Structure 1
Amino acid sequence: MADEGSFRKEWLRPFFFYGNNWISLLGGAITTASAMVLVGFWIVSIFGHGGSSNPYLGIIFELILPGVFVAGLVTILIGILTRRSYLVATDQVPSFFPEISIHDPIFRHGLDFVVIATLINFVIVGTACYRGVAYMDTVSFCGTTCHVMLPENTAYHISSHAGVACTQCHVAPGTAGYIHAKVNGTKQLLEVVFHNYPAPIMAANKLPAASTTCLGCHDPASSIGDKLRISSAYADDEANSPTSSLTMLHVGGKDSFGRLSGIHGAHMGKIEYISTDSSNQTISWVGKTESDGSLTEFTSGDPKAAATGQRRTMDCIDCHNTVGHAFTTPEDALNKDMALGSPAVTLPFVHKEGLALLKENYGSPELAQAKITAKLITFYRSQYPAVWNSQQSQVNAAAKTLVKIYNSNIFPDMKVGWGTHPNNIGHTNSPGCFRCHDGSHNAGNAKTITNDCSACHNLLVSGELHPKLLSDLGLQ
């Protein structure tokens, strides 16, 4: 009891006496309010996460709020030292410090100040945190706050998933996914602050399993059957001669009788693979677990050599890897926009000239816009003055389209160029399907992963001018 009395007399009384100033009282209110918000957040995290799953929550709750808490403590100390220095300098330090009592009007007024200021700060800090969390759940925050995300944000807005929030694909549900997202978000913040982020940013092997994200909206087991794909291309001649190709894709799935068919059906079940590169473009080993539980192993190269590397379970993203961020090739992008009307096919050699301009290196979006526009206008002014005079608006529109294509796919600062992000659907512009279906992945029992094209699609028309089949289908 003597020790307790000594502690109250020698430490608590001076602390409360010197701390009874507006600076320390404000610091106490700040510390208390931030502590209340932090404790509330921890309780929600432990007993049931029902709020935001944004990966950048760690910025607020692991960095900012603890910083505010410490700042409040420092403010208390500054107030105490300031008042003590003043009282010592003016010889106003009392011979004994007053008793800590609620009946002391000075102490009571200080306590009232702390309570009121704490409530006000709690509302302010809590509201600010809520608004901050709500903002961090938006695509705008994920895509524009950090300049390093410019390529992904640009591609996202022209992808088929442009209406899906970033967190729905990049954050797995549940406590484990939530904690991982917070830690990862804080790590990414530090990488940006210290300029230690990767360029380009590659998402392979970093996304949650499709079973926790994609399958919330999609059902790969549903029977889709066949889909007709029509693509247009333009030649590099003066007339930009258009051709069409028709492909019947056997998407398949599982029918009402449980029968598997097509592309989706062939890849259901447990399939594992080992890749020798970080972007999963070179696959050296494939393992398929059969219906009886046995494992069939396919290797590329020496079948006796043991496969080394991390085994990964194949899921949607291994093929649909650019579904949320649509990067393309200059040929595909130009053909698609020409089919939509700009650049206009009436402009001589616009396909050839457009491709040449898209494949040049400009160094920045601003230079790309200036040089693409100037060079295309110069070409038509010098080579086709009559076309320039009669179709000036079409030339300007073509230049804008080429600039849009270039600046949607090329980001020099992040080292993103044509082909940096390969598309694993198909096998025209990158290995894609041929990563496994190349005829060289063999099993010990003489089985080979098929490279029979008809197993996945039939090419009905290839590069024909005005194909009759399109007319027969009423599509031309």
Structure 2
Amino acid sequence: MRVVGRNWITALGGALTTISALLIIAFMGLGLLGLYDTPYIGIMAFLVLPGVFVLGLLLIPVGLYWERKRARRRGASANPTPRDPYPRIDFNRASVRRTAGIVSVLTLVNLLIISLTTYKGVTYMDSVEFCGTVCHSVMEPEYTAYLGSPHSRVKCVECHIGPGAPWFVRSKLSGVGQVFATAFNTYSRPIPTPVENLRPSRDTCEQCHWPEKFTGDRVKIITRFAEDEANTPLKTVLLMHIGGGTAGHGGIHSWHIAPNRQTIYIAADKQRQIIPWIQVREADGRVTEFVAQEASLTPEQLARAERRVMDCIDCHNRPTHIFKLPDQAMDEALAAGRIDRTLPYIKKLGVEALRAAADTSGNAAEEIARRVRAFYEEQYPDLFRSRRETIETAIRELQAIFRRNVFPSMKVTWGTYPDNIGHTRFPGCFRCHDEQHVSKDGRTISQSCDLCHTLLAVEEPNPPILQQLNIR
């Protein structure tokens, strides 16, 4: 201890180790008791302080070595027996046994702290809290969309990383660049999509959803509300030809991601909305290429372009981080009863208010409230007085819709992120199914509606098919 006491490096290492260990234990205790709800305590407890702890442990022997070298230069030795190159350890001496016991206990404590914090650090970096809230301004749009998505109970890492160590290491190395981009405020606004280094969906999505599982046809009902005074509900009924399985049945999944068929394509833009070239490889070895008649790339560019094997994400590109357009969000809110559809023209008014709020330079929430109140006060004064609370409820839901889908700080607004499912709001299916992709033998990729679904009813108030099926 005499050497340690006059060796500031070792003393500093001991102080860092002791203080960081106590803070780690304290933060873990607070977490177990649920006394904090900020992600930054987790960062300190499981990422920053363990690094300080290990640094302190390294400084202790470094300081002792430095002190020993300094003593030798002065003609003295820090070792009580300078003639021996190594210290003598005699367990017959009580002081040696006592020192060995203390060192052994401290070593076990250090190993326990390092092991525990390493495990907790890895699990914390895999948590939804870490992914969604640490870099708040960057991930706010994606995290907000995730919370209201069909996959909100699935951890981020299960889709973005998947099982196995190689992709875990790869993701953490990729995260280093993201940390620097966040620290120096150089990240893209909005976050570009699709994610170019995303793991293939066969390793992630198909842990739960696999092509052989989806077979047959399914009925899908789409409810849309007209922009008339009564907000008339209109229903479209589709018989979706899902396909799938291994029996060679037709259908969406059978054509696109069947195990015995591979579809490869080239995209002319980063968002993969323009697809000039498609290749289909059959199990029997047949290969067919389809080229867009008005291809945006030259043959030389096509030859050099990146080829991508089609998988789930090429159609289901927003399975979790779903951003709605105003009319789509309004239809869902009206169907769920979050907005009272007996309010005259509320569908039309809501869509207009949401679009106008995205363009305002002022407070979006106040703009939505102002427009809705002004409309009913001017056009329906009696209703405005008698149903004021119903109107205010609608305003609050409109403001919530806006907050879930528009993020000015990240330049995310209506339609920023295309959704490739369907073809009503974005090109989606029609990126390929446009009758413009032609093979050498003159075949085209069909745009026929019946290829993927059968129309049983189109925007009807009371479709007879639903009554026949006893679907309300």
Tell me if the contact between 2:357 and 2:367 (Cα under 8 Å) persists in the aligned partners: no
Q: 1:428 to 1:77 in 2, by over 3 A?
A: same
Tell me if the contact between 2:46 and 2:120 (Cα under 8 Å) persists in the aligned partners: no
> SS of the residue aligned with 2:242?
strand
Q: 1:270 aligns with which of 262, 270, 289?
A: 262
Tell me if the contact between 1:58 and 1:185 (Cα under 8 Å) persists in the aligned partners: no
Q: CA deviation at 1:250?
A: 1.1
Letter in 2 for 1:166: C
Give the TM-score of the pair, scaled to structure 2: 0.80
| Whole-angstrom distance in 2 between the partners of 1:427 and 1:201 | 24
How many percent of aligned residue pairs carry the same amino acid?
36
Letter in 1 for 2:388: Q
Within the alignment, does 1:355 sit opposite 2:351 as a pair? yes
Tell me if the contact between 1:28 and 1:73 (Cα under 8 Å) persists in the aligned partners: no
Letter in 2 for 1:278: K
Q: 1:67 to 1:189 in 2, by over 3 A?
A: farther
CA offsets 1:405-434 (integer angstroms, 9 cap, x no match): 111111111111111111111111111111
Tell me if the contact between 1:251 and 1:264 (Cα under 8 Å) persists in the aligned partners: yes
Cross-structure match for 1:124: 113
Tell me if the contact between 2:235 and 2:463 (Cα under 8 Å) persists in the aligned partners: yes
> SS of the residue aligned with 1:283?
coil
| Whole-angstrom distance in 2 between the partners of 1:358 and 1:135 | 37
Cross-structure match for 1:231: 222
C-alpha RMSD of the superposition: 3.6
Give the TM-score of the pair, scaled to structure 1: 0.80
Cross-structure match for 1:188: 178
Cross-structure match for 1:284: 276
| Whole-angstrom distance in 1 between the partners of 2:306 and 2:240 | 32
Cross-structure match for 2:140: 150
Cross-structure match for 2:330: 334
| Whole-angstrom distance in 1 between the partners of 2:368 and 2:107 | 59
Tell me if the contact between 1:260 and 1:266 (Cα under 8 Å) persists in the aligned partners: no
CA offsets 1:344-392 (integer angstroms, 9 cap, x no match): 1111111111011111245899933333234323332333221122222
Q: 1:283 to 1:389 in 2, by over 3 A?
A: same
> SS of the residue aligned with 1:119?
helix
Q: Which runs of 5+ in 2 are unaligned?
A: 21-41, 82-86
Q: CA deviation at 1:321?
A: 0.8
Q: 1:367 to 1:330 in 2, by over 3 A?
A: same
| Whole-angstrom distance in 1 between the partners of 2:44 and 2:192 | 22
- 1:51-66 correspondence to structure 2 within 5 Å: none
Cross-structure match for 1:133: 122
Letter in 1 for 2:233: P
Q: CA deviation at 1:107?
A: 8.4
Q: Which runs of 5+ in 1 are unaligned?
A: 1-15, 35-56, 88-92
Q: 1:464 aligns with which of 448, 456, 460?
A: 460
Letter in 1 for 2:278: V
| Whole-angstrom distance in 2 between the partners of 1:26 and 1:101 | 27
| Whole-angstrom distance in 2 between the partners of 1:379 and 1:118 | 73
Letter in 2 for 1:241: T
Within the alignment, does 1:396 sit opposite 2:392 as a pair? yes
Within the alignment, does 1:310 sit opposite 2:300 as a pair? no
Letter in 1 for 2:218: K
Q: 2:168 aligns with which of 178, 201, 207?
A: 178
Letter in 2 for 1:457: H
- 1:49-88 correspondence to structure 2 within 5 Å: 68-74=53-59
Tell me if the contact between 2:193 and 2:270 (Cα under 8 Å) persists in the aligned partners: no
Paired residue total: 430
* Bigger mean CA offset, 58-67 vs 239-248: 58-67
Cross-structure match for 1:44: none
Cross-structure match for 1:421: 417
Tell me if the contact between 2:162 and 2:203 (Cα under 8 Å) persists in the aligned partners: yes
> SS of the residue aligned with 2:353?
helix
> SS of the residue aligned with 2:171?
helix
Within the alignment, does 1:440 sit opposite 2:440 as a pair? no
> SS of the residue aligned with 2:213?
coil
| Whole-angstrom distance in 1 between the partners of 2:62 and 2:95 | 19
> SS of the residue aligned with 1:120?
helix
Cross-structure match for 1:221: 212
- 1:14-53 correspondence to structure 2 within 5 Å: 18-19=3-4, 24=10, 27=13
Q: 1:64 to 1:424 in 2, by over 3 A?
A: farther
Tell me if the contact between 1:29 and 1:121 (Cα under 8 Å) persists in the aligned partners: no
Q: 1:364 to 1:162 in 2, by over 3 A?
A: farther
Tell me if the contact between 2:7 and 2:63 (Cα under 8 Å) persists in the aligned partners: no
Q: CA deviation at 1:447?
A: 1.6
Tell me if the contact between 2:181 and 2:187 (Cα under 8 Å) persists in the aligned partners: yes
Cross-structure match for 1:379: 375
Tell me if the contact between 1:229 and 1:246 (Cα under 8 Å) persists in the aligned partners: yes
- 1:93-104 correspondence to structure 2 within 5 Å: 97=78, 98-99=80-81, 100-102=87-89
Within the alignment, does 1:298 sit opposite 2:290 as a pair? yes
| Whole-angstrom distance in 2 between the partners of 1:378 and 1:259 | 59
Tell me if the contact between 2:12 and 2:56 (Cα under 8 Å) persists in the aligned partners: no
